[in-house]
Structure 1
Amino acid sequence: MTTAPAPGSATLTRDAAGERLSISGDWTLAHYPALQRRANELAGSIGAEVAVDIARLGAMDTSGAFVIAELLGSARTQQLAQHEDLPAARRALLKTVGDAIDTYCKGVKRKRNAGFVEALERIGRSLEGSWKQTAKLLAFIGITLQGFLATVWQPKRWRVTSLVSHIEQTGLDAVPILALLSFMVGAVVAFLGSTALASYGASIFTVDLIGFAFLREFGVLLTSILLAGRTASAFTAQIGSMKAREEIDAIRTLGLDPVQLLVLPRVLALLIALPLLTFIAMIAGIVGGGVVCMAVLKMSPSMFLSMFQADISLTQFLVGIAKAPVFAFMIGVIGCMEGFKVSGSAQSVGEHTTSAVVQSIFVVILLDALAALFYMEMGW
Structure 2
Amino acid sequence: MTEVGHAQLAGDGSRIIIGGDWTLEHVAMLASLCARLQRKSGTDVRVDAREIGRIDTAGASYLLDLAGEDPQRIDVGSEATRKLIAAVSKAENAPPAKPRKKDRGFLSSVAHIGEALENFWDNAVTLVGFIGLILSALARSALRPRRWRATSTISHIEQTGLNALPIVALLCFLVGAVVAFLGATVLKEFGASIYTVELVGYSFLREFGVLLTAIMVAGRSGSAFTAQIGSMKAREEVDAIRTLGLDPVDVLVMPRVLALLVSMPILTLVGMLAGIIGGAAVCVLALDVSPLMFITRLQETTTVRHFWVGMSKAPIFAFLIAAIGCLEGFKVSGSAESVGSHTTSSVVQSIFVVILIDALAAIFFMEINL
TM-score, length-scaled by structure 2: 0.75
Query: 1:248 maps to what in 2?
Result: 238
Q: Distance in 2 between matches of 1:191 and 1:281?
A: 18
Which residue of 28, 36, 43 maps to 1:59? 43
Matched, 1:138 2:132: no
- Structure 2: distance between partners of 1:127 and 1:60: 63
1:121 aligns with 2:111: yes
Change beyond 3 A, Cα 1:189–1:261:
same
Aligned to 1:26: none
Residue from 221, 224, 228 that aligns with 1:238: 228
Partner deviation per Cα, 1:151-204 (whole Å, 9 max, x = no partner): 111011111111111111100111111111111111111100000101011101
Q: 1:238 to 1:106 in 2, by over 3 A?
A: closer
Deviation per CA, 1:1-24: give whole Å up to 9, x if none: x9xx9xxxxxxxxxxxxxxxxxxx
**CA deviation profile, 1:91-128 (whole Å, cap 9, x unmatched):** xxxxxxxxx9xxx8597696764521111111111111
Corresponding residue for 1:219? 209
5+ residue gaps, structure 1, are 6-29, 32-57, 68-88, 90-99
User: Shift of the alpha carbon at 1:241?
Assistant: 1.1
Tell me how far apart the structure 1 counterparts of residues 318 and 65 of structure 2 sit (CA, whole Å).
Answer: 68
Alpha carbons of structure 1 residues 260 and 197: separation in structure 2 relative to 1, 3 Å: same
- Who is 2:60 aligned against? none
Aligned residue number for residue 207 of structure 1: 197
Residues 1:209 and 1:65: Cα distance change in structure 2 (over 3 Å) = farther
Could you give the per-residue CA deviations for residues 190-222 of structure 1, whole angstroms, max 9, x where no partner exists? 100000101011101000000011001000001
Name the structure 2 match of 1:275.
Answer: 265
In the other structure, the counterpart of 1:329 is 319
Distance 1:107 1:222 in 2: 52
In structure 2, the gaps of 5 or more residues are: 1-8, 14-33, 36-41, 46-63, 74-89
The structure 1 segments of at least 4 consecutive aligned residues displaced by more than 2 Å after TM superposition are 60-67, 104-114
RMSD of aligned residue pairs (Cα, Å):
3.2
- Equivalents in 1 of 2:141, 2:291: separation in Å? 49
**2:288 partner SS:** coil
Secondary structure at the aligned position of 2:164 is classed as helix
Q: 1:320 aligns with which of 279, 289, 310?
A: 310
2:356 alignment counterpart: 366
Counterpart CA distance in 2 for 1:240 and 1:113 is: 36
Residue 129 of structure 1: how far off its partner (Å):
0.8
Choose from 132, 137, 141 the match for 1:147: 137
Within the alignment, does 1:304 sit opposite 2:288 as a pair?
A: no
Distance in 1 between the 2:65 and 2:309 partners?
Answer: 79
* 1:379 match: secondary structure: coil
1:295 to 257, 271, 285: 285
- What percent of counterpart residues are identical? 58
Query: In structure 2, what residue type is equivalent to 1:352?
Result: H
Aligned position for 1:174: 164
TM superposition shift of 1:248? 1.0
Aligned equivalent of 1:352, options 329, 339, 342: 342
1:162 and 1:216 mapped to 2: Cα distance?
32
In the aligned structure 1, how far is the partner of 2:95 from the partner of 2:66?
16
SS class of match (2:116): helix
